Amino acid sequence: MADAHSNLDALREDDVSSLLHPFTNAVAHGQIGPDVVVRGEGARIYDDAGREYIDAMSGLWAIGLGYSEERLINAATEQLKKLPYYHTFAHKSNPAAIKLGKALLSMLPVEMSKVIYTNSGSEAVDTAIKLAWYYWNAAGEPERVKIISRKRAYHGSNVASGSATGLTVMHGGFNLPFSQILHAECPHFWRYGEKGETEEEFSQRKADELEKLILEAGPTTIAAFIAEPVMGAGGVIVPPEGYFEKIQAVLDRYGILFISDEVICGFGRTGKMFGSETFGIRPDIMTFAKQLSSAYMPIGAVTVTEELYEKIASASNTRGVFGHGYTYSGHPVACAVALEALTIYQERDVVGHVAQSGAYFQQRLREFESHPLVGEVRGVGLIAAVELVADKRSKKLFDPFGKVNGRFAKLAYERGLITRALPASDSLGLCPPLFCTKSELDEIVDKFADTLEAVTEFASRAGR
């Protein structure tokens, strides 16, 4: 046993000495070290000390089929034996990339023409933005360079996707956002709705504010508007009644492209196959990642309409080449795994399952609405957030916010529950694997309730 502990200590020391962790306080990490996860099974993970946790965040909103789906493991293994890698540059392709593209296009709620592969959601959003620019150059409107995102949106961490992200933690120190990115207001009705205002009226106000932003910037300078159907890391913000219908009308009025970022919402998460379907969005470009392969392999994708593709293809002919792509675009192993994941989603009726289990999950979470620390419970399907407040009546945030939900996430982890403290408010995110059982969802809610009681004393000291 002493040797085992010695090995674990050495592993943690090696991590601290060699790794710079994403979204981590590097100084604090050097002091406390990592939690080392060594195994996963179903909805659970296990650390190097043998402790078990139910993962109510699907890793990072991603592992829809859980941690031990043999069919995905077998798909990767078989493809590795046949063709472990080849690129898709310069007229090259592979069967897995071709089959996945056809399968993905056949599932979409709107007609799309072509797929281009990336390795992540961040790369997918960067690619979508570049495709919008390329399209407008090809269409003879090169002045259309501005992209409108929204405050509190999360679209990734690359230069373009990080700029589109509307969270200040993503910008400070990185010289972001760059000047072509504008941010419209966040459509969080509970937080920003005015007294006596209905959801429809709030949605109209947000649409009017967007139109004002477009007019001030110059309509002929706007290339695209990008939005998550449900905001993820920004707080699981579900759009209010009529929101996207009114936003779409404004975009149509000025000929602005709509990029629907389905990286979190895609493949059943909201109770429909795609968030665009849940909320009636008619996008010109769509982005995907995460549950595309149930996170078993790094892969993302972008789809475009036939109208966009025709212009892009024509411009590539004029220029001699379409000068974008990645070494691993259409990686055969990633595509084989993603293709098997899509097959499983359809065979196991992910939409029907999430529609039923999601309704139960949302109902159980609403049990917290009367708790004195809880300002709002929100969500759809199997994605949700519980927002904690210092004062329930006034919706006052804790000062500084992030302190209480950070404490909550730590206490939940000690109780074997993985949730996520979300930036921009004291909200806790929940995004369990898509095929969680009723008993697993009950376990998540019960552990959440236990943690909520445990954090009450801490919250009182923090200024409730």
pLDDT 10s digits, 110-133:
999 999 999 999 999 999 999 999
Position 12 scores a pLDDT of 86
- Indicate the pTM of the whole model: 0.96
Among residues of the chain, what percentage have pLDDT more than 70? Answer: 98
Report the mean per-residue pLDDT for the chain: 95
Report the pLDDT value the prediction gives residue 424, as an integer from 0 to 100.
81
Each residue of 31-80: pLDDT tens digit? 888 999 999 999 999 999 999 999 999 999 999 999 999 999 999 999 99
More confident residue, 464 or 29: 29
**Band (3; pLDDT cuts 50, 70, 90):** low
pLDDT at 10: 85
Q: What is the pLDDT of residues 240-298, one digit of tens each?
A: 999 999 999 999 999 999 999 999 999 999 999 999 999 999 999 999 999 999 999 99
pLDDT band at 11, cuts 50/70/90? confident
* pLDDT at residue number 438: 98
User: Residue 2: its pLDDT value, please?
Assistant: 44
Give the class (CATH, top level) of 71-347. alpha beta
Per-residue model confidence as pLDDT tens digits over 417-455: 999 999 888 999 999 999 999 999 999 999 999 999 999
pLDDT over 60 (residue 189): yes
Question: Looking at residue 161, what is its pLDDT?
Answer: 98
Q: Three-class SS string for the chain?
A: CHHHHHHHHHHHHHHHHHCCCCCCCHHHHHHHCCCCEEEEECCEEEECCCCEEEECCHHHHCCCCCCCCHHHHHHHHHHHHHCCCCCCCCCCCCHHHHHHHHHHHHHCCCCCCEEEEECCHHHHHHHHHHHHHHHHHHCCCCCCCEEEEECCCCCCCCHHHHHHCCCHHHCCCCCCCCCCEEEECCCCHHHHCCCCCCHHHHHHHHHHHHHHHHHHHCHHHEEEEEECCCECCCCCECCCCCHHHHHHHHHHHCCCEEEEECCCCCCCCCCCCCHHHHCCCCCCEEEECHHHCCCCCCCEEEEECHHHHHHHHHHHHHHCCCCCCCCCCCCHHHHHHHHHHHHHHHHCCHHHHHHHHHHHHHHHHHHHCCCCCEEEEEEECCEEEEEECCECCCCECCCCCCHHHHHHHHHHHHCCEECEEECCCCEEEECCCCCCCHHHHHHHHHHHHHHHHHHHHHHHHCCC
Rounded to an integer, the average pLDDT of 1-22 is 78
Predicted pLDDT of residue 272 = 98
Q: For residue 457, what pLDDT band results from cuts at 50, 70 and 90?
A: confident
Q: What is the mean pLDDT of residues 196-221?
A: 98
Give residue 6's pLDDT. Answer: 58
Q: Report the CATH number of the 35-68+350-461 domain.
A: 3.90.1150.10
Per-residue pLDDT reduced to its tens digit, 287-345: 999 999 999 999 999 999 999 999 999 999 999 999 999 999 999 999 999 999 999 99
What residue spans define the domains of the chain? 35-68+350-461, 71-347
pLDDT at 256: 98
pLDDT at 1: 40
* pLDDT over 70 at 463, yes or no: no
